[in-house]
């Protein structure tokens, strides 16, 4: 029998996946190291188990102890899983800018979560750093792993992430890119890769509001660079000991908006449902790659976590619009599509009582691929597509004489007039080939994939 003794034994050996669509115009091969395949859905599972096991070996953490950590959520999840496997309690402090999903997930796996204000200095007694340190002092037999300064963080990636990338690229990697937060991921991985091939170039992704890029380039810790930002998991207002600037060759800063939009693109265009800082990593890495990557180069971009942490934020259209991240000049709406048809949007339907042959003639006459089906009162009760008809005719040629109502699919979905193209495109799939919308006069219009393509190119 093949099985794992506990969930923590499944950490690591995550896949490399080639990016195909978001890399348009980029030379070379760009691969994503997809870390949401870890059991806690993030790269932080790797450092969590390493920090706990190193503390056990050092005699710092004993049976029945409590793990206390300041986290943006992902490290907390990794620590919580490790704690379940090893029998420890967990208390996590988090900044109030972190997503509610992250807090709920940590509570779901048995952790206590203490929410602290974001807009305070790191040494303020209310900051999530300070609260974690204080609790560690007050609670007996507790461990404060301190992922920022605990070099087990870097060691975990030196021992696992770096070797995996080197192995899976068969030593062909030329560039490595990752977000920089605690610094352990990029520095541990880069240290290993550069030891194998000193020419490997490391690109660190920073965010506006963080000190890293300017410090790397000038050696100056400029407090004027520090201001609130929304992206979670990268950038800092401190210099963690795990950040070894000598291992990071270049820094690229990415805005909250560009990061959020790229994360959504990765989900839609690559099928990678990833987190916010994953968008930062890809956007920043590709901006750098446009000017620097050659045809023979292989770039690996590390994607640290999963999109479920951000459902109420970057994957919520209302939240995105409220923050100015989705604008009408970038994404047309269903209303715009209907107006753009210039009176050519009169809806063609077929009665449920009509035969399949009659429906085929209507499709051919109107040069359309899908059509709503109506009952005797004109209400839409189903839909029919040329693909559905073709498949059914191949199975049984006699169905051409049966009523459409006997072979029709479920009705197309109705959507709101103000839904944007990116949302509309996510609703069209194998099961739903088109969308319906009612205008202000209650007239029904159909929106097809062709309409969406036209809206994106005008």
Q: Give the residue numbers marked as catalytic.
A: 44
Distance CA 239, CA 248 (A): 14
| Alpha carbon 112 to chain centroid, angstroms | 25
Question: β-pairing, 16-18 with 350-351?
Answer: unpaired
- Residues 204, 205, 207, 211: what is their CA dihedral angle, to the nearest 10 degrees? 0
3-class secondary structure, 171:
coil
3-class secondary structure, 113:
strand
User: What Rg do the C-alpha atoms of the chain give, in angstroms?
Assistant: 26
The dihedral region occupied by 170, where left means phi > 0, alpha psi between -120 and 50, and beta the remainder, is left
3-class secondary structure, 271:
coil
Contact 109, 84 (CB under 8 A): yes
Q: Torsions phi, psi of 272, nearest 5?
A: -105, 100
Alpha carbons within 13 angstroms on the beta-carbon side of residue 208 total 6
3-class secondary structure, 213:
helix
- CA 67, 69, 300: angle at the middle one, nearest 5? 115
């Amino acid at each position: 029998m093949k099985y794992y003794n506990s969930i923590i034994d499944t950490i690591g050996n995550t896949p490399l996946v080639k990016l195909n669509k978001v890399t348009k115009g980029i030379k070379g091969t760009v691969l994503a190291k997809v870390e949401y395949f870890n059991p806690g859905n993030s790269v932080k599972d790797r450092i969590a188990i390493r920090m706990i096991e190193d503390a056990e070996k050092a005699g710092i953490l004993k049976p029945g102890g409590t793990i206390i950590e300041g986290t943006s959520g992902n490290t907390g999840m990794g620590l919580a899983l490790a704690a379940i496997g090893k029998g420890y309690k967990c208390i996590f402090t988090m900044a109030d800018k972190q997503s509610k999903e992250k807090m709920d997930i940590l509570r779901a796996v048995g952790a206590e979560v203490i929410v602290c204000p974001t807009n305070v200095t790191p040494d303020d007694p209310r900051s999530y750093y300070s609260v974690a340190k204080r609790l560690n002092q007050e609670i007996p037999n507790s461990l404060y792993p301190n992922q920022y300064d605990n070099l087990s963080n870097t060691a975990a990636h030196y021992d696992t992430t770096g070797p995996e990338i080197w192995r899976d690229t068969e030593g062909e990697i030329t560039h490595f890119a990752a977000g920089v937060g605690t610094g352990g991921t990029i520095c541990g991985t880069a240290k290993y890769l550069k030891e194998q091939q000193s020419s490997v170039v490391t690109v660190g992704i920073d965010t506006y509001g963080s000190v890293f890029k300017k410090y790397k380039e000038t050696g100056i810790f400029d407090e004027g660079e520090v201001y609130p930002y929304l992206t979670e998991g990268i950038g800092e207002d401190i210099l963690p000991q795990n950040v070894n600037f000598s291992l990071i060759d270049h820094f690229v800063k990415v805005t909250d908006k560009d990061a959020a939009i790229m994360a959504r693109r990765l989900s839609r265009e690559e099928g990678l449902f990833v987190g916010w800082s994953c968008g930062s990593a890809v956007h920043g890495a590709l901006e750098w790659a446009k000017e620097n990557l050659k045809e023979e180069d292989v770039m690996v971009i590390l994607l640290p976590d999963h999109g479920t942490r951000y459902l109420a934020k970057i994957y919520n259209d209302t939240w995105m619009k409220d923050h100015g991240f989705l604008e009408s000049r970038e994404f047309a709406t269903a209303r715009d599509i209907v107006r753009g048809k210039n009176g050519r949007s009169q809806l063609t339907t077929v009665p449920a009582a009509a035969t399949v042959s009659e429906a085929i003639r209507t499709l051919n006459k109107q040069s359309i691929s899908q059509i709503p089906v109506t009952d005797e009162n004109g209400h839409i009760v189903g839909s029919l597509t040329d693909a559905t008809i073709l498949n059914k005719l191949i199975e049984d040629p006699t169905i051409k004489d049966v009523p459409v109502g006997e072979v029709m699919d479920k009705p197309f979905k109705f959507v709101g007039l103000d839904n944007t193209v990116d949302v509309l495109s996510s609703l069209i799939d194998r099961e739903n080939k088109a969308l319906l919308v009612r205008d202000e006069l209650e007239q029904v219009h159909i929106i097809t994939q062709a309409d969406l393509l036209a809206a994106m190119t005008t």
